[in-house]
């Protein structure tokens, strides 16, 4: 192998004196030795003129064998060099080879390729593409196939259903819900067929979402559901329907379905209740509280209650909820108490104990937990579900931030009273401006305590902090332009957390911050 590798290196330097030099590299590019293949790929980067097409074709052959990081780097640089010498970029005609080549490309490389079908389909499979790029890809496929956007969406869902690509299906749904109602209505039958034949729940959910948006009413879809799976998928689809009035039409249907619901259907119903609008919030709090106290789909009920407006929380039921959560929390093993579900559960219990003015319950719940907090966004509410965290001075703690909304958000921890200052400073920033950690909407040279990146819907990130050694407060805020006015909260640093919570059992009402307050 060493001799063969050296021979390839000599050939590289004698390429202009050896007849058919590119053809001689065809054997080397398929050699069993990665050292030989590396020399061959490197040699191909030196060809130019009429030899470029042949050299490019041979370089593609390298993907048929395993690559280490050095070989992969050389492969990409060789392709970049050869493609710079060609007026038009060419790709392998062999579908298997093309698929292998595409799998080696990062997003930037993929974006630079011709818009052939394989490249476009590969883009749809990547979660890193945002909804704007994904919509553009669907439009390009429609042009290529001379079809329409909905037909291409359905074809993509069918492919993802077959390959069990859950992430890509969920990302594609962000495109689906932006399709005009009239276009979805025209494809009603095709969407019904997709919903009936799909094996994956996320594909069924997407199909029913398209049907609901196209129908513009709840009755039609609900009536044609012929199975438990279909009903469950329709309920799950409510979460991606952008029209709040249409979502609220499901309130009586969900309430009626609760009587016999269990398993996945019950879980879907409880998760959908916060989406029924402010007018139904109080009634749905009572439903969720009942299921939570009875221990039915406890984690889903906890999350749903946290999504409801705090004004709908019933003080009369707060103590019973806190007691139920405490009883369950005591059964959770110590090594499971840092998990997000447990943290959310104890946080709600503490909030409910505070609402009930029960210091004993609150102290017991705090004693079971750890210094980890969960903060989520409220769907379409432009606010965090938690606006106050109380931490012990000088102690380390974590914040798990999860974006449950339909738009991007971040969570930045800043100094006391600095939410307005940083919010105003980011109002004119663009998405391409990033700090040294790659975070968007962080002003240049701003002294940030800690913060997450800008998270897309369903994404989450954990940040670790250490509380200052003296009592005081810090702010946390979303700095996506314009969000800071309502998306903010306070981190209270206390000497004795239990004593502070006893004196301040509930968080103050959220204040709207105005840009004019900046100094």
Bridge-based pairing state of the strands 488-494 and 472-477: antiparallel
Residue 278: how many other CB atoms lie within 10 Å: 13
For residue 40, the model assigns a pLDDT of: 96
The Cβ-side half-sphere exposure at 423, using a 13 Å CA radius, reads 26
Tens digits of residue pLDDT in 483-492: 999 999 999 9
More confident residue, 368 or 476: 476
SS3 372: strand
For residue 364, the model assigns a pLDDT of: 93
User: Mean pLDDT over residues 80-98, rounded?
Assistant: 84
Say how far apart CA 518 and CA 212 lie, in whole Å.
Answer: 44
> Residue 384 has what DSSP assignment?
B
End-to-end CA distance of the chain: 71
- Predicted confidence (pLDDT) at residue 177 exceeds the cutoff of 90: yes
Bridge-based pairing state of the strands 450-451 and 412-415: antiparallel
- Which one, of 425, 435, 414, 430, lies nearest residue 491 by Cα? 414
For residue 517, the model assigns a pLDDT of: 45
Tens digits of residue pLDDT in 315-367: 999 999 999 999 999 999 988 998 999 999 999 999 999 999 999 999 999 99
Instruction: Return all residues near 503 (Cβ < 8 A) that are at least 6 apart.
Output: none
- Predicted confidence (pLDDT) at residue 5 exceeds the cutoff of 80: yes
- Which one, of 250, 155, 249, 131, lies nearest residue 203 by Cα? 155
What rounded mean pLDDT belongs to the chain?
A: 92
Q: Which parts of 356-427 fold into alpha helices (H)?
A: 359-368, 419-425
Q: How confident is the model at residue 130 (pLDDT cuts 50, 70, 90)?
A: confident
pTM above 0.75, yes or no: yes
Residue appearing with tokens 């054997």: 27
- Predicted confidence (pLDDT) at residue 93 exceeds the cutoff of 70: yes
Share of the chain above pLDDT 70, in %: 99
Instruction: Return all residues near 306 (Cβ < 8 A) that are at least 6 apart.
Output: 344, 347, 348, 376, 385, 386
Q: Measuring CA to CA, how many Å separate 419 from each of 22, 433, 438?
A: 63, 19, 20
For residue 303, the model assigns a pLDDT of: 95
What length does the chain have? 519
Max CA pair span of the chain: 92
User: Mean pLDDT over residues 3-16, rounded?
Assistant: 95
Extract the tokens encoding 461. Answer: 């990130």
The answer to whether 312 and 285 are in contact (CB under 8 A) is yes
Bridge-based pairing state of the strands 372-376 and 396-402: parallel
Q: How confident is the model at residue 519 (pLDDT cuts 50, 70, 90)?
A: very low
- Predicted confidence (pLDDT) at residue 90 exceeds the cutoff of 80: no
Sign of the CA dihedral with 431 first, then 435, 439, and 442 last: negative
User: Mean pLDDT over residues 425-447, rounded?
Assistant: 90
For residue 516, the model assigns a pLDDT of: 62
Judged by average pLDDT, the poorest of 33-42, 174-183, 265-274, 431-440 is 431-440
More confident residue, 285 or 16: 285
Residue 205: how many other CB atoms lie within 10 Å: 25
For residue 518, the model assigns a pLDDT of: 43
Q: Measuring CA to CA, how many Å separate 319 from each of 149, 304, 348, 355?
A: 52, 18, 11, 8
- Which one, of 479, 507, 494, 486, lies nearest residue 414 by Cα? 479
Say how far apart CA 173 and CA 179 lie, in whole Å.
Answer: 10
């Amino acid at each position: 192998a060493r001799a063969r590798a050296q021979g390839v290196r000599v050939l590289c330097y004698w390429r202009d004196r050896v007849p058919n030099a590119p053809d001689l590299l065809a054997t080397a590019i398929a050699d069993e030795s990665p050292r030989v293949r590396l020399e061959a790929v490197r040699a191909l980067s030196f060809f130019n003129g009429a030899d470029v097409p042949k050299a490019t074709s041979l370089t593609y052959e390298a993907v048929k064998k395993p690559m280490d990081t050095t070989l992969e780097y050389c492969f990409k640089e060789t392709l970049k060099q050869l493609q710079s010498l060609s007026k038009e970029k060419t790709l392998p005609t062999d579908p298997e080879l093309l698929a292998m080549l595409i799998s080696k490309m990062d997003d930037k490389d993929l974006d630079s390729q011709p818009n052939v079908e394989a490249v476009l389909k590969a883009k749809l499979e990547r979660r890193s593409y945002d909804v704007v790029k994904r919509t553009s890809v669907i439009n390009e496929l429609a042009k290529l196939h001379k079809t329409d956007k909905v037909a291409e969406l359905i074809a993509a869902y069918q492919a993802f259903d077959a390959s069990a690509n859950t992430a890509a299906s969920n990302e594609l749904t962000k495109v689906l819900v932006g399709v005009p109602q009239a276009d979805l209505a025209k494809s009603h039958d095709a969407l019904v067929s997709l919903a009936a034949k799909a094996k994956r729940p996320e594909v069924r959910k997407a199909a029913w979402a398209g049907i609901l948006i196209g129908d513009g009413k709840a009755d039609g879809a609900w009536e044609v559901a012929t199975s438990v799976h279909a009903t469950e998928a329709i309920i799950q689809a409510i979460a991606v329907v952008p029209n709040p009035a249409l979502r609220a039409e499901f309130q009586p249907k969900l309430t009626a379905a609760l009587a016999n619901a269990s398993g996945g259907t019950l879980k879907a119903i409880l998760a959908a209740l916060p989406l029924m609008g402010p007018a139904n919030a109080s009634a749905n709090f009572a439903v969720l509280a009942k299921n939570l106290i009875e221990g039915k789909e406890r984690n889903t009920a906890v999350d749903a209650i946290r999504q409801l407006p705090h004004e709908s929380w019933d003080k009369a039921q707060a103590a019973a909820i806190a007691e139920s959560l405490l009883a369950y929390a005591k059964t959770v093993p110590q090594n499971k108490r840092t998990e997000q579900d447990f943290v959310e559960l104890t946080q709600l219990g503490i909030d409910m104990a505070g609402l009930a003015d029960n210091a004993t319950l609150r102290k017991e719940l705090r004693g079971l937990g750890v210094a980890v907090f969960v903060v989520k966004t409220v769907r379409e509410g432009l606010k965090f579900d938690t606006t106050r965290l109380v931490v012990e001075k000088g102690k380390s703690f974590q914040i798990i931030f999860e974006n449950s909304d339909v738009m991007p958000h971040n969570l930045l921890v800043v100094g006391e009273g600095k939410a307005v200052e940083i919010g105003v400073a980011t109002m004119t920033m663009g998405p391409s401006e990033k700090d040294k950690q790659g975070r968007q909407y962080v002003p240049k040279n701003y002294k940030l305590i800690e913060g997450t990146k800008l998270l897309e819907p369903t994404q989450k990130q954990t940040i670790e902090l250490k509380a200052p050694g003296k009592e005081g407060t810090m702010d946390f805020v979303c700095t996506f332009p314009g969000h800071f006015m309502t998306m903010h909260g306070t981190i209270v640093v206390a000497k004795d957390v239990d004593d502070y919570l006893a004196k301040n059992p509930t968080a103050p009402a959220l204040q709207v911050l105005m840009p004019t307050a900046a100094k």
